[in-house]
Amino acid sequence: MVTFAVTLAVLLHPPSLPGSWGSVAPVGLLNSGGLLPSVLWAVPVLIVALVAGLGYALIAPRPPRATGAPFAAGHVILGAAIGSRLDLGSIRSLRADWLAVFVSCSAILVLCVAAGYVLCLKNGIYIATGVFAMVGRAPSLTATARTLGADDRVVTAVQYLRVLIIVASMPFVINELSPFDTGSSGAGIFLFVDDEPLPTERLLGAFRDAGPGLILVILAFLIGVPLARRVALPAGTLIFPLIVTALLTGTGLLDASVPNTLASAGSALIGLQVGLRLTRDSLRALGSLLPLAIVTIVGLVAVSAGLGLVLAQVTGHTLIDGYLATSPGGFYPVLAAAVSSNSNVTFVLAVQIARHIVILLSVPFLTQLISRRAGLPVE
């Protein structure tokens, strides 16, 4: 799995100078020399790919691009995996839990705004920069932040750092929570495949046996991606394949699920994308703000996790479901973790979407709040 993640990083962003191999060479040498302990196979593919991408981003001679068809493929695979697991019963149960979901989403928004104010304790950090760095990264939020004078570089760098910390801590929190969740298989996030590398013959056999699942993913690509290109919708490369897959499996037209090995590849692409985004330029933009940003983000994640545990108790879901549902960022990695840990993907997806809706609805309020504090005219 380590070799797989490193290979992805190199293939997607080939090093142009010998020195740029420094980001992946240490891992490759350790792996080939047998120095990595066998327990490394218990490390989530998401984290291995994230570390490979982060190392490459920090050492590569040029900032890598974390966009394009390969990463969109990861989104499509994830969307197909979620769509095949959607549970209509869970959707209906959300009607009774709507108030708890709304309160938790609103509380997370308040926490993010408070965390933004904490960042402003650092001299030179404007209130719009701090708040929008912690609240989210929707296009409408980015445009609003610019009109209010936010520093784009700092906002982007803090957002990437926030997602990085959330993703890096996620598997270990899930493993800590899984013993307290009856019937939970939280440790499943640690690998989609067997604990040992699959021989070539077994790997080929696994792909042959997964024919219906491969057809499901191919259809998600062929139908979902064109729709995502035609309809401007946030996370369209995930949402439309999700809808296509849910319709195919929910109506009984195709009885299949995404093969585990392919799901691992999608998870690795998402982790790699997260790692590649935190470049040296991003860290330079943070500068002396980095220590305060790390402490603030860790605090935000911890308190949000506490809210998630409360939400789980109120709604009757598992602790892992509540924790993932209230994660304050990292939409794609959170959903990938929900799929791989066999959590209630429907619940996690619904709460995450509700959180984004609450954030978007709060834009006018945030604009007025920041404008008044900064003495700007309020339209």
For residue range 234-279, list pLDDT tens digits in order.
788 999 999 999 999 888 888 888 888 788 888 889 989 888 988 8
Which residues contact residue 75 at a Cβ distance below 8 angstroms, ignoring those fewer than 6 apart?
235, 237, 238, 241, 266, 270, 332
DSSP state letters, 222-274: IIIHHHHHHS--TTHHHHHHHHHHHHHHHTTS------HHHHHHHHHHHHHHH
Q: How far is 171 from 46, CA to CA, in rounded Å?
A: 9
Which residues contact residue 64 at a Cβ distance below 8 angstroms, ignoring those fewer than 6 apart?
12, 13, 53, 56, 57, 276, 279
pLDDT band at 182 (very low <50, low <70, confident <90, very high): low
Instruction: Write down the pTM of the prediction.
Output: 0.78
Over the stretch 205-236, which tens digit does the pLDDT of each residue have? 555 556 788 889 999 999 999 999 888 777 88
Q: How far is 17 from 64, CA to CA, in rounded Å?
A: 13
| H or E segment and range at residue 63 | none
**How far is residue 228 CA from its own chain's centroid?**
19
* Nearest C-alpha neighbor of 283 from the set 188, 160, 152: 160
Q: How far is 227 from 235, CA to CA, in rounded Å?
A: 12
3-state helix, strand, coil in the chain (%, to 5): 75, 0, 25
Q: How far is 15 from 13, CA to CA, in rounded Å?
A: 6
Of 52-66, 111-125, 296-310, least confident by mean pLDDT is 52-66
Contact 102, 263 (CB under 8 A): no
Over the stretch 92-104, which tens digit does the pLDDT of each residue have? 777 888 899 999 9
Contact 47, 172 (CB under 8 A): no
pLDDT band at 199 (very low <50, low <70, confident <90, very high): low
Q: What is the per-residue pLDDT for 286?
A: 87
Q: Is the pLDDT of residue 194 over 50?
A: no
DSSP state letters, 279-347: -HHHHHHHGGGHHHHHHHHHHHHHHHHHHHHHHHHHHT--HHHHHHHT-SS-HHHHHHHHHHTT--HHH
Task: DSSP letter for 121, please.
Answer: T
Length of the chain (residues): 379
Q: Where are the domains of the chain?
A: 65-259+276-374
Share of the chain above pLDDT 90, in %: 28
Mean pLDDT score, 350-355:
92
Q: What is the per-residue pLDDT for 22?
A: 39
Q: Considering the chain, what is the average pLDDT of its residues?
A: 79
> SS3 for 55?
helix
